[in-house]
Amino acid sequence: MAERRVNVGWAEGLHARPASIFVRAATATGIPVTIAKNGGDPVNAASMLAVLGLGAQGGEEVVLASDSDGAEAALERLAKLVAEGLEELPETV
């Protein structure tokens, strides 16, 4: 299983707009991805309610994971999005 640990770069954490950006980006990868707070249970990264339910704060570590083909590249892009608090999924890393 591919995994990336990253600190949330959005000051407000994964709430409202940042969560929406992240969920759209996770869905756009086309592969199943999970997200979890460090030590917590993973949830579906493509579910807005699940991501909001994490309550991930700015600066807090989250774990992105997937065991699908293409997971390494997809997780790298999602990790960059989360770490840098970007407004959209980067095309390439």
Taking only the tens place, the pLDDT of each residue in 12-33 is 999 999 999 999 999 999 999 9
3-state helix, strand, coil in the chain (%, to 5): 35, 20, 45
Does pLDDT of 88 surpass 60?
yes
Q: What is the pTM of this model?
A: 0.93
For the stretch 72-82, pLDDT in tens is: 999 999 999 99
Phi, psi of 26 (to 5 degrees): -65, -40
Distance (Å, whole) CA 71 – CA 90: 15
pLDDT band at 8, cuts 50/70/90? Answer: very high
Q: Active-site residue numbers?
A: 15
> Which structural domains are found in the chain, ordered by start?
2-84 (3.30.1340.10)
